[in-house]
Amino acid sequence: GYPFLARTRSNAPQPIADIFFKIGQEVAELEKYQSDIKQHPGLMKGHLPFLGELLLGHLRYGTQGKNNVEFCHPFIKRNLIPGRNLALAGNFNLVNTEELFDLVNVNPGEFQKQSDLAAMMEVIHHFLVKEDEVSPNAPDLSKVLRKAAPLFDGGFHIGGLIGNGHSFVLRDAHGIRPAYYYINEEVIVAASERAAIRTTFNVGENEVLELMPGQALIVDDAGVHRIEQILEPKERRACSFERIYFSRGSDEKIYRERIALGHHLSRTVLDNINHDLKNTIFSYIPNTAEVAFFGLVKGMEEYLNKIKVERILSWGKDFTPDKLEEMVNRKIRQEKIAIKDVKLRTFITEDASRNEMVQHVYDITYGTVRRGEDTLVVIDDSIVRGTTLKQSIVRMLARLQPKKIIVVSSAPQIRYPDCYGIDMSKLGDFIAFRAAVELLKERNMEDVLTKALEEIKELQRNNQLHVRNVVRDIYHPFTPEDISNKIAQLITPAEVNVPVQVIYQTIEDLHDSCPTNTGDWYFTGNYPTPGGNRVCNKAFLNYMEGRNVRGY
């Protein structure tokens, strides 16, 4: 017979086009028998798998460094009974997948072991089946979710479809992952990004609502919806990295926040160029840093305009039209220095090809810098591994022979692993962590590493890894500037003679820029759930013992 839930997935270079091509082929097959079938979509109902009332899609972002098609959401759990078919997709990571499999007595295969979604699916399906036994084909999804959701340790925003036409969207209690929805008389839609809904349905900002922490949007087979509080809301710790880098900059709130991130950095940059705007060029690393760049330049313009006013007032009446015109026409020097040659976000490139690809992603605009005179300031949204900077950007910028290169990060130093849905899981990958370790070695303080390792092993023996984030001790002996200066050394290739400096956003200015997204554990080590400390400590253990694996 026909399955209750149809699915197509792709990990092709152009996956969206590939998926629509496959679906288009099915339509083309029908057109062989009725050439005008596209004009009568109602006639295709029942003949096309994807002409249904419930649709669930997902843009795969590999949080395990793997992009095999088997890892693509949605996952489906099939059953002969309609109400026991379940499809799930979501943006998240869980830190207790092993415990979840144990809870429902499932012995996972090799593939399932690596999948947070597979574990979540087994748990939800377990309670869905029990509910279906009580209320055949009419399960109360709020009951199912209230039993399943408290078992998940992590940040999540998930969508689910049931084979009988019911559906739901659920957000974690801390609101770590973003979730929005829009409802009118024709559609009920939920997504991770407000801008995606606004663009698709052409609606105003206030028409798209935020699904609050711990809430679920539940829709029955008749299209009747309700909002249920599934988990008791906890301290809001929405992910700030979403605002810095991950989410679409076309969202008006995110756009303003990225402007603010750049603006906050302007004072520090001015101090480090000795307020010499005449001999400084500003640029950005394409493409997600562009908005923060506008904010940085805005801060520079405010300073320059203030200086213009002060200078003109100091002249009194002692000036010529030419002198006044020269002062008024002074501008911040902006150039598009770095060019992204490949339409590729290196952050998301599979681990296996990262280093080879990075060298070929960026190019530079020649003839923009006065050799040996101009300081070159480039802003990036964040510096995670430092791979792109060292392998490509710094090396390329140095070819322009500026007096100095200053790399500015709109995000603070990324010091700790993320375990809630962003692929930053190995401590040894982080340039900030490597900088701290190098400083400990230089200052003969390697006993700090040894003590941390011993304490973590003791915590592990007592099953107490969640109690304290021991990795914070690694950074304790150093100021943020110490770490930044060492990072500057680490990202400078041996053959580059141009001085390189790195300036990071402060934690305080981050929170001032992004006031509603206070989740900052990758910067501060302050995790919202107990599993975060456990993951961080395990990541350090893996690093010290030479295991190149995730801490969860």
pLDDT mean over 539-550 = 91
pLDDT mean over 344-350 = 49
Q: What contacts 24+ positions apart, CB below 8 Å, involve 25-33?
A: none
Domain 56-236: give its CATH code.
3.60.20.10
Closest by CA to 278, choosing from 329, 338, 339, 337, is 329
Structure-token pair, residue 424: 């930053």
Per-residue pLDDT band for 67 (boundaries 50, 70, 90) equals low
Residue 346 is predicted with a pLDDT of 46
Is 88:120 a contact under the CB 8 Å cutoff? Answer: yes
Structure-token pair, residue 85: 């078919």
| Whether residue 139 has pLDDT greater than 90 | no
- Following DSSP, what letter does each residue of 319-388 receive, concatenated? --HHHHHHHHT---EE---EEE-SS--GGGS-GGGHHHHHTTTEEE-TT-S-TTT-EEEEEES--SS-HH
Is 99:552 a contact under the CB 8 Å cutoff? Answer: no
| Whether residue 277 has pLDDT greater than 70 | yes
| Whether residue 497 has pLDDT greater than 90 | yes
pLDDT mean over 251-268 = 97
Q: Which residue has tokens 């300036």?
A: 503
Q: What's the CA gap between 391 and 386, in Å, rounded?
A: 8
Residue 348 is predicted with a pLDDT of 45
Q: What's the CA gap between 253 and 514, in Å, rounded?
A: 9
Q: What tens digit of pLDDT does each residue of 149-177 get? A: 999 999 999 999 999 999 999 999 999 99
Cβ neighbors of 377 (< 8 A, separation 6 or more) are 269, 273, 280, 281, 282, 283, 296, 406, 408
Per-residue pLDDT band for 354 (boundaries 50, 70, 90) equals low
| Whether residue 58 has pLDDT greater than 80 | yes
Closest by CA to 425, choosing from 524, 317, 312, 538, is 538
| Whether residue 489 has pLDDT greater than 70 | yes
Q: What's the CA gap between 382 and 355, in Å, rounded?
A: 18
Residue 320: HSE in the Cβ half-sphere, 13 Å Cα cutoff: 3
Is 254:525 a contact under the CB 8 Å cutoff? Answer: no
Is 245:382 a contact under the CB 8 Å cutoff? Answer: yes
Domain residue spans of the chain: 1-52, 56-236, 253-544
* Mean pLDDT rounded to a whole number for the chain: 92
Percent of the chain with pLDDT over 90: 76
Residue 66 is predicted with a pLDDT of 59
Residue 13 is predicted with a pLDDT of 84
| Whether residue 266 has pLDDT greater than 50 | yes
Is 524:513 a contact under the CB 8 Å cutoff? Answer: no
Q: Which residue has tokens 């109902």?
A: 45
Q: What tens digit of pLDDT does each residue of 430-446 get? A: 999 999 999 999 999 99
Tell me the CATH architecture of domain 253-544: 3-Layer(aba) Sandwich (3.40)
Task: Centre a 10 Å sphere on the Cβ of residue 269 and count the other Cβ atoms it contains.
Answer: 23
| Whether residue 448 has pLDDT greater than 50 | yes
DSSP state of 528: S
Rounded to whole angstroms, what are the CA distances from 19 to 46, 144, 173? 19, 32, 34
Q: What's the CA gap between 500 and 504, in Å, rounded?
A: 13
| Whether residue 62 has pLDDT greater than 90 | no
Per-residue pLDDT band for 91 (boundaries 50, 70, 90) equals confident
Closest by CA to 489, choosing from 539, 428, 439, is 439
Cβ neighbors of 178 (< 8 A, separation 6 or more) are 157, 192, 193, 210, 238, 239, 242, 247
pLDDT mean over 467-484 = 98
Q: What's the CA gap between 89 and 72, in Å, rounded?
A: 9
Burial pattern 329-346, b for ≥16 Cβ within 10 A else e, equals eeebbeeebbeeeeeeeb
Task: Centre a 10 Å sphere on the Cβ of residue 534 and count the other Cβ atoms it contains.
Answer: 25
| Whether residue 148 has pLDDT greater than 90 | yes
pLDDT mean over 4-26 = 90
| Whether residue 65 has pLDDT greater than 70 | no
Q: What tens digit of pLDDT does each residue of 318-338 get? A: 999 999 999 999 999 999 999
Q: Residue 22: what residue type?
A: K
